[in-house]
Amino acid sequence: MTQTRNMLIGAAIAALTFLPATAFADAHSEVVNAGMHAGFAAGSPDVAGVHAHLHHTLNCLVGPGGSGFDAKEMNPCANAGKGAIPDTTDTAKKTALEQAAAKARAGLAETNLAAAQKDAADARDLLKKDE
């Protein structure tokens, strides 16, 4: 009996060892990370910097396959899950995250520095509320 139990425990530990990191979704850390990059975007001194960090923000929010995900840009949440929006089950939180993603997309479409920074700050503020 003890030997069987130990074998089952060992098999469970081995199975967990081989699961990809995305098997353990952490929407909270994805939201925090997205908010941090939105803050970096809001403080960037040029449009290129704003856009770079908004790509990171959006990648964390939507995850691979999500609207606006850019595989050519860094995904700082790659090992945290499938994206904050797909990993969130609470409807109200998901709505707020989608609003933040819309602000990030708007900022990415902006060529005016002040307007892009404003969209980034709005995304950051929406994400801070959802932490």
**Nearest Cα to 123, choosing from 49, 19, 34?**
34
| pLDDT, averaged in runs of 10, over the chain (131 residues) | 42 40 73 97 98 98 96 95 95 96 98 98 93 70
pLDDT at residue 130, as a whole number: 67
The single-letter code of the amino acid at 91 is T
Instruction: List alpha helices for 22-112, DSSP H.
Output: 27-42, 47-62, 84-87, 91-109
pLDDT at residue 6, as a whole number: 40
Domain boundaries, the chain: 21-130
